[in-house]
A and B are shown apart, each in its own frame.
Chain A
């Protein structure tokens, strides 16, 4: 009997022990599946001894999960996650300030003053325009937000619902910050007349355009570039007023049980090697020195994206979120 009990205890100890050991870190991310694969290959080339376990969830789902797990976090690093969500005090509380090697070379705009987060990549608002539908309905190609007010587009535009989609929110907030509150809301109200539906995800408007269900999907650049590379009859339009954008940041978890390797990973995340890997996928890379991918170039992304980006105020965007969504629901939600 005693031996039996010891056996059980040993087995239990093994199960517990197997969960974490040195040389292994767990990373939560909202990067897409194929990006993760490519970045990790690059990381393991120079760090073959660190095994990175990755869990990928959409931005909102990941946030809900991290908050629910807050009493017993399972991960060491947050990687590639929207800054607007990261600056939520409940999330910041879980992180620990860490300045990766050579972080001082980065533009201060892209990191937290206390180094609780460092943003390396980002995505920007872009229109997915289906050229087939445009030709069939004899519609002009839009080049700006203002163009979208053309009554010819009535019922042909799909936009993400900002209450459920981060992409939708960044589009709305960039318009409000760019035009000013009053003009911004007035514009959104006018645009509303042309919108066929507010859809509940940020990539779906582009998918709708790809499938020919809408002429114009207000989405972000990554889906558009992918669609064009895949042969879809899509043209990517970066609005000439400047594109709203979101940054994706990394952070060290306070509760990490393997901070040595976690820091190694965060150091790597801003090296030229990492930047080279990001550039194959990302429209926005905050660390200079890279070159955008051929796919992105072919889709029409300018070599220097900073020329087309709208200057976002992320603090204001996070702080005013509730109020903006409240007003949006009141005035525009159907």
Chain B
């Protein structure tokens, strides 16, 4: 046996080992809890059966509510992907000014506690809101369009993350060749740019669709009488303590995710790599008219986001929202939160753990999907995409069923910050994995081949070639996990214990108790902590001599 084939065997073992590790993790933290949900949906008073399904499908309005869900999600997807594409295009392919600021502003909704949208949207668009009173209009926000606007604002950053990752990498030679052959900008856009980001667009569409489909927070605040499927889960589980019927609806919500998985597999086959071995990075050239247009477009897109967040910061400095707007610092100095700022510290810890575990696992998953086209790769891809379609509330409850045991390995980590971090990692696993995959896919496999020919092991290719190329994406994914963990509520609300309270929960408690301005102050502090962490990260990277994460939207 030659040393070369020994090496190939070692490579295969290495890939298989990573694949196996990821499969085990996904089976334990995604598949097992999901199976429990399936089990619940089949549990009836008399034993096992499909009775719950017939009850849900036969229920009055099931068709209407399903239709509502799909109407909202489709509208949100079309609008969000279009806006996110324009925004990402401006960020990556134009030479407009203040790109750094635009990148940052678009991430705001990711780390804004959900209360922010409630306050901000109603203050802006409500009957008594800024727009209606200023222009003396009678626009009714409550209902279909309210949910759509809220969800577009919320999912835009996640779509921008994916699409800008796809757009960031391009080979200037292709464009030069097209120019030489006489192709105009329109032709180049449709024949080169669009096909090259097809996967990114598709992944973003899938993601936005499932986010909109599973969200029940926005319909609760601003949906008025417009009921969607996710509301049905909430009504069944929380309103009527009926987990069985709730799980049936949760399973129905999984269908589009499975469908999207198939579509993605087909698209995947036709995807080609963009960073070939000899590619030249595309640097946007200055073009005053185009840059100005892009600048205006990006400003218009980001304006509502900034306005909504600004509203909450404003609310944190007033006495009584919204009828007594006297300015005060009282909400910060005498905040009524029961445990003071301890939950904030807990949240930072949980978010850091989630960021580290999140980056390692999603990167490993993306690597396995790329290098193993067999059963393992497909399993990782399939299970990894499921969490996107599971409402956080269902996941949190499933985690109780799966891991709340009196004895055994999970009894050791249950009720710890680690458990909360794990819940967050797997709740947002799909987003992280899709972003990492999008980035990996754009690196030509000729790198792997060249590296292998030169006798490099897979480990070497990974360390010397792949990792440096996807470093910006890794950072972006890590930051994403950190930010989401700081504010997410729906899943962890069922897992926090008196000793492990989190900042987002505190915001909810304050808001529930009617202390809106105190909740706004606490939300503002959360956002400050996240911004502070980003600044710190930037400084550290500069000290290490690395560029700040370019793709870290």
Contact = CB atoms under 8 A, between A and B. Distances in A.
Interface of A: 12, 15-16, 19, 26, 32-37, 53-58, 60-61, 63-65, 67-69, 71-72, 74, 85, 88, 90, 161, 163-165, 196-201, 203-204, 207, 210-214, 223, 226-227, 230-233, 321-322, 325, 329-330, 333-334
Nearest to A223: B514
Given A164-B239, A197-B225, A198-B225, A64 B512 contact: no
B238 A231 contact: no
A211 B512 CA distance: 15
Contact of A60 (B60, B239, B404, B497): B239
A196 B143 CA distance: 11
10 contacts: A19-B415, A53-B498, A56-B509, A69-B404, A197-B142, A198-B225, A200-B234, A211-B126, A226-B514, A231-B323
Contacts of B400: 65, 68-69
Given A12-B412, A212-B127, A33 B512 contact: yes
B224 interface: yes
B279 interface: no
B304 interface: no
A72 B415 CA distance: 12
A68 B37 CA distance: 11
B324 A231 contact: yes
Interface in B468-515: 493-494, 496-499, 509-510, 512-515
A57 B237 CA distance: 14
Contacts of B262: none
Contacts of B80: none
B187 interface: no
B235 A163 contact: yes
A325 B59 CA distance: 12
B324 A67 contact: no
Contacts of A199: 220, 224
6 cross-chain pairs, A with B, having the tightest CB-CB distances, nearest first: A60-B238, A53-B498, A334-B225, A197-B224, A212-B128, A68-B400
A259 B405 CA distance: 21
Interface string B392-417: 00000100110011100001100110
Contact of B220 (A16, A35, A56, A201): A201
Size category, B interface: 35 or more
B238 A64 contact: yes
Contact of A163 (B142, B219, B239): B239
A55 B497 contact: yes
Given A34-B515, A67-B241, A164-B234, A15 B122 contact: no
- Identify the interface centre among B142, B240, B405, B416: most chain A CB within 10 Å of its CB: B240
B235 to A, nearest CB: 5
A231 B510 CA distance: 18
Interface of B: 60-61, 122, 126-128, 142, 219-221, 223-225, 227, 231, 234-235, 237-241, 243, 319-320, 322-324, 336-338, 397, 400-401, 404-406, 411-412, 415-416, 493-494, 496-499, 509-510, 512-516
A200 B220 contact: yes
B225 A32 contact: no
A58 B514 contact: no
Contact of A61 (B127, B238, B338, B510): B238
A37 B506 CA distance: 13
A197 B220 CA distance: 11
A16 B498 contact: no
A65 B227 CA distance: 24
Main secondary structure of the interface of A (DSSP, over half): mixed
Contacts of A329: 60-61
B498 A26 contact: yes
Given A33-B337, A232-B320, A68 B512 contact: no
Contacts of A163: 235, 239-240
B323 A58 contact: no
A121 to B, nearest CB: 15
Contacts of A33: 336-338, 509-510, 512-513, 515
Nearest to B319: A231
Contacts of A68: 243, 397, 400-401, 404, 494
Nearest to A73: B404
Nearest to B499: A53
Given A33-B336, A330-B60, A211 B498 contact: no
Contacts of A333: 61, 225, 227
A77 to B, nearest CB: 12
B230 to A, nearest CB: 11
Given A16-B412, A33-B338, A211-B126, A63 B238 contact: yes
Contact of A213 (B126, B319, B509): B126
Contact of B493 (A57, A164, A201, A330): A57
Contact of A72 (B227, B239, B405): B405
A325 B240 contact: yes
Contact of A230 (B61, B122, B320, B496): B320
B513 A65 contact: no
Contacts of A210: 322-323
B550 to A, nearest CB: 41
B241 A88 contact: yes
A15 B415 CA distance: 11
A227 B514 contact: yes
Contacts of A36: 338
Given A33-B336, A34-B515, A329-B60, A64 B494 contact: yes
Contact of A63 (B241, B320, B513): B241
